[in-house]
Amino acid sequence: MPLDTTAFPLPVTTTETRIDGTPHLEAFLVHPERSAVHAPSLLLCHGFPSTQRPGVPSRSYEQFAQRVAKEQGWVVLAVSLRGCGQSEGQFSMLGWLDDVARSVQRLRAEGSQRIWLMGSTTGGSLAIMAAAQDPEIRGVAVMAPRADFDDWASDPRRFLQHCRNVGVIDDDDYPSSVNQWADELRQHRAIDSIEDIGSRPLLILHGTNDRQVPSDDARQLAKAHPSPELRFVSGADHRIRHDPRALAVLLGWLERQASEHVD
C-alpha cells in the first residue's frame, strides 16, 4: 500500500543532478527521506517553451515534484530536455525522445522498479511515445497533449525560427538538413504510438478553453486506447497544469496507481 502522508507530509531531499551522455542534461531528483521499499517513481516531462516563457522550464515542475514526494511518497525526477534550462544540445523530436528514455534509465539506475510518466503539452506527447517504446513503463498521465506535430512540420523553416526565438536551438549551423529535421516531427506522433501502450493506465486532462491544442486531440488519443480516463476541466486553458482542479485529479490518479499496481 502507498504511504498515507496527506496529514503528515514526508520530509524530502531534492538533489540537482545531471544525466550523463550526449548531450548532458540538467535534472533534479526528489527522494522522500523515509520512502518505502520499491517506492513508485515518476518522470516529469515539460512542454515546449514559448516566447513568453523561453528556454527554462518553470520552477513549478520542481514544486510539483516535491509535492508528490511529500504527500504520496513517490521518487520524482524532473529533467530539462536538450536545449532547455542548463541542458546542452539542440532540439529535435528524436533527441527529446532519447532524453526521456535516458531519464527513465537514470531512474532505474537509482533502483526504481515501478515507473510512471507524466507530461504536459508537448511533454505529454513525448510521454505517450516513450511509453509505447518501453513496455516496462507502468502508466502515463498527460495534460493538453498534442496528437501530432503536423502543424509544426507543415512550415519547417517557420518552426525552426520559432525554436531559435525560444532558445531550444542556438547553433546557427543546426540542423544540417531542415527537411530531415522536420521529417522527425511527421514520423513521431502520439496518435500513432498510443495503441502500443496497450491496456496500461492512461489519464488525459484537457482544458475546455485551450486555444493552442484543440480538445479533439485529447478525444483522438482517448479513442485509440482501450480504457482511458479522459477528463475535461471546465474553463481551463492551455496551462492546465496550473489549475488546482486538474492537479487534484492527477494526484488522485497517482494515489490509485500506487495502490493498484503493487508487485
In the chain, the DSSP E strands lie at: 12-19, 25-32, 41-45, 75-79, 115-120, 139-143, 202-207, 229-233
Report yes or no on 7 lying in a domain: no
Domain of 61 in residue numbering reads as 12-260
- CATH, residue 185: 3.40.50.1820
Position 149 scores a pLDDT of 97
**How many structural domains is the chain composed of?**
1
Report yes or no on 181 lying in a domain: yes
Report yes or no on 5 lying in a domain: no
For the whole model, what pTM was predicted?
Answer: 0.93
Instruction: Classify strands 75-79 and 25-32 as parallel, antiparallel or unpaired.
Output: antiparallel
Report yes or no on 2 lying in a domain: no
Q: Closest by alpha carbon to 207, among 218, 194, 191, 220?
A: 218
Report yes or no on 23 lying in a domain: yes
- Please tell me what DSSP assigns to residue 25: E
Ordered per-residue pLDDT tens for the chain, 263 residues: 344 444 457 788 889 999 989 999 999 999 887 655 678 999 999 999 987 666 566 677 888 999 999 999 999 999 999 999 889 999 999 999 999 999 999 999 989 989 999 999 999 999 999 999 999 999 999 999 999 999 999 999 999 999 999 999 999 999 999 999 999 999 999 999 999 999 999 999 999 999 999 999 999 999 999 999 999 999 999 989 889 999 999 999 999 999 876 66
CB 249 within 8 A of CB 205: yes
Report yes or no on 197 lying in a domain: yes
Summarised one tens digit per residue, pLDDT across range 65-78 is 999 999 999 999 99
Report yes or no on 3 lying in a domain: no
